[in-house]
Structure 1
Amino acid sequence: MVIGATGQIGRVAVGALARDGWEVTAVSRGGGRDADWPDGVRVARADREDGAALAAVVGDGCEVLVDMVAFSAAHARQLTSLAGRVGSAVVISSVAVYEDGAGRTFDTQDEPDGFPHYPVPVTEQQRTIRPGDTSYSTRKAALERELLAAGDRLPTTLLRAGAVHGPHCRTPRELYFVKRNLDGRRRRVLAFGGRSRFHPASVHTLAELIRLAAARPGSRVLNAVDPEAPTVAEIAAEIDAVMGVETDTVLVDGPPPAPGVGDTPWSVPADVVCDMSAAERELGYRPVVRYAQTLPETVAWIEGRLAGRDWREAYPKMFHAYGDLFDYAAEDAWLGA
């Protein structure tokens, strides 16, 4: 059973599980079906926030429950309440739970010197933020703690996803370069020398990890990222190649030189790069895709969403998270100066 089946990760995971021989029930609020799913996939409608509805669709039980949309301790308790009817679970978490040696996390990144400086690469032994209900990061940490504590009753694999990418994403970082190219911007500014790395995680990578974890129940946390973490300059060049354009890049050492200039969704002052050794050891994971391979489908999806629409209408969650990513007047003024 897959909860959140019509979301970005769920669409691919349902297909991967069905093709692997599982009898899959795809649960979503709308009860929809993806065109790429095998015919044998069943669909069911339930709201993730309604515990009774969730219990009803589980019914007499399932061997594996995969949850794409668990975000809190309350969601964890929903799952553990089904322990007698569910053999094991696979739940999406986030690298946002990590804390560095000075207590810095993604929650402190807007403070002076607040961005975390993690070891490169980060392993699952890195300490995590204190669980709570004040932020996305603290809620994910609380989710993890509750599920790991119930590992004897409901073995759960928690996948700490990086920067998820692929079609159907509501906050695609690739939008930054795709829209600029569509707008004819042939010069760009990249802060931190274009060397920033924020480890991406393809929906195909996550689907493969889900597929493997479903067949190997256990109580564990695993990083869930692509085999490489390209720099922001490399990402920009790869998107240019997919779109068939050439762009001049102005590299700036240090932070963005002015508001709205050189600050991409990947531009961070310290690398966020994760180690995948544990997934290889625990699940037998081997890479199935690399970042550049997946870009054509991502770019095509973004172009389709933008066609004839203001980007803030097409991607309201992106605008809420990052503000105005396309202040071309500020960029032109800085370049002109």
Structure 2
Amino acid sequence: MVGATGQIGRAAVRALVADGWEVTAVSRRGGRDERWPAEVRSVAVDRNEDGALARALGDGVDVLVDVVAYDAGHGRQLTALADRIGSAVVISSAAVYEDEQGRNFDTQDEPDGFPLYPLPIPETWRTVAPGDTSYGTRKVALERELLAAGDALPTTVLRAAAVHGPYGPGPRELWFVKRALDGRPVRILAEGGRSVFHPVHVDNLAELIRLAAAKPGSRVLNGADPEAPSVAEIGAAVDAVMGVAGETVLFEGPPGKDAVGETPWTTPRPMVCGMTAAERELGYRPVTGYAESLPETVAWLTETVADRDWRDAFPGLAKYGVDFFDYAAEDAWLAARRGV
């Protein structure tokens, strides 16, 4: 497994070992997860170093799981090693989809730029063009390289929705968890709190990886949770886990320039991924639901930010350049709204 010590990799290693696979966990530092059994072999490999991945494969593997492949170059790297790989399972992203107007994740900050997707989005839906200009275009380029190999390297491409669970670099749930920890009594949500950005828990992705490893084929499948809660529903679920009762203030329309009401889920239109194909082709059934999985995530978040600035703890969330916890701006907005 390439990328074994990341958020998805940790869960996938456990699922594969439980299914009887002999797993070699590849990462840049060769680290381990404390929940892995002793028989998991850890190897330090920088895949971008010439020949490093080939050396790690040795005489070959039955299945290569790659959770960090990113672009066409990584696709070509894997197909060049097809004679040593029985089949592959590779993580892509639901960010590859675009709507009938050509709107996609790259246009979402433009006026009326957020896509209007079908509900749910099937895997046959149109995607952005392959390229090297953005996350979505690079992922499509990766997919095209792998799928073009056909039977030479049967590859299951998993288009992951908004990944959640422990060990994430940009955990969206922090938006609610930190407010509860800070004793912040108010949660202000734009778009009427109805925003839906379909999540997928790492254990559900791990289950898809496990099933695809046991049933090789060239295919594209979505990866998403059995439910797609709204941001307001997510807030209520987090509050329930943390035993708090915050006041939720809703307003229509997008967040203002001060970012009040903006969350990591905030979208003007819903994004929901269909899971019918995975159920049909792999016999997939989710192993957890959103609310069911939250206690572990909340406990991990609480521990991680206990004595650290959230930006240092979660650079993947800080990279958006939004102060998600600007309470002074929120107080000013509330005062103006209430005529104080």
Scaled by the length of structure 1, what TM-score is found?
0.98
Q: Which runs of 5+ in 1 are unaligned?
A: none
The yes-or-no answer on 1:183 pairing with 2:182 is yes
Which residue of structure 2 aligns with residue 96 of structure 1? 95
Which runs of at least 4 in structure 1 moved beyond 3 Å after TM superposition?
none
Give the deviation of 1:300 after TM superposition. Answer: 1.0
Opposite residue 27 of structure 1, the aligned amino acid is V
Summarize deviations over 1:140-166 as a string: whole Å, max 9, x none. Answer: 010001101112210000000000001
The residue that corresponds to 1:280 in the other structure is 279
Q: How much has 1:258 moved relative to structure 2?
A: 4.7
- Contact persistence 2:259–2:322 (CA under 8 A): no
Residue 115 of structure 1 aligns to a residue whose secondary structure is: coil
Distance in 1 separating the partners of 2:257 and 2:322: 15
- Contact 1:197–1:272 (Cα < 8 Å) also in 2: yes
- The one-letter code matched in structure 1 to 2:70 is F
CA offsets per residue over residues 89-124 of structure 1, 9 Å max, x none?
A: 000000000010000000000100000110010000
**For the Cα contact (< 8 Å) 1:48–1:69, is it kept in 2?**
no
User: 1:19 touches 1:38 (CA, 8 Å); kept in 2?
Assistant: no
Counterpart residue type for residue 175 of structure 1: L
List aligned pairs for 1:125-144, cutoff 5 A.
Answer: 125-144=124-143
Partner of 1:224: 223
TM-superposed deviation, 1:33: 1.6
For residue 155 of structure 1, what is the aligned residue in structure 2? 154
Number of the residue aligned with 1:211: 210
Report the alpha carbon displacement of residue 172 of structure 1 after superposing the two structures with TM. 0.3
C-alpha distance in structure 1 between counterparts of 2:97 and 2:132, whole Å: 16
Q: Give the secondary structure class of the aligned counterpart of 1:152.
A: helix
Q: Structure 1 stretch 175-184 or stretch 209-218: which is displaced more? A: 175-184
Q: How far apart are the structure 2 equivalents of 1:186 and 1:282? A: 46
Q: Which residue of 1 aligns with 2:192?
A: 193
User: In structure 2, how many angstroms separate the alpha carbons of the residues matched to 1:128 and 1:40?
Assistant: 40
Distance 1:51 1:222 in 2: 31
Alignment of 1:1-337 (within 5 A): 2-337=1-336
CA contact (8 A) 1:165 1:172 kept: yes
Maintained 8 Å contact 2:165/2:296 = yes
Q: Separation in 2 of the partners of 1:309 and 1:23?
A: 37
Structure 1 contact 228–291 (Cα < 8 Å) conserved: yes
Distance in 2, Cα, partners of 1:39 & 1:312: 34
Aligned-partner Cα distance in 2 for 1:137–1:202: 20
Name the aligned partner's letter for residue 98 of structure 1. Answer: Y
Q: Is the 8 A contact 1:258 1:334 kept in 2?
A: no
Q: Bigger shift: 249-258 or 135-144?
A: 249-258
**Contact persistence 2:92–2:143 (CA under 8 A):** yes
The alignment partner of 2:274 has SS state of: coil
Q: CA deviation at 1:35?
A: 1.3
Give me the whole-angstrom Cα distance separating, in 1, the residues matched to 2:26 and 2:80.
18
| SS at structure 2 position matched to 1:230 | coil
Task: Compute the displacement of 1:42 (Å).
Answer: 1.1
Aligned counterparts of 1:28 and 1:106: Cα–Cα separation in 2: 29
1:61, CA displacement in angstroms? 0.2
Q: What is the distance in 2 between the residues matched to 1:6 and 1:151?
A: 29
Q: Which residue identity is paired with 2:198?
A: H
Q: CA deviation at 1:317?
A: 2.4
- SS of the counterpart of 2:38? coil
- Name the TM-score, length of structure 2 as normaliser: 0.97
Distance 2:15 2:148 in 1: 29
How far 1:318 sits from its partner (Å)?
1.1
The alpha-carbon deviation at position 257 of structure 1 amounts to 4.1
* Paired residues of 1:260 and 1:326 also in contact (CA < 8 A): no
Aligned AA (2:2): I
Once the two structures are TM-superposed, the CA of residue 29 in structure 1 deviates from its matched residue by 0.9
CA distance in 1, matches of 2:257, 2:333: 7
Query: Which residue identity lines up with residue 311 of structure 1 in the other structure?
Result: W
Quote the sequence identity (%). 68
Question: Cα offset for 1:320?
Answer: 1.1
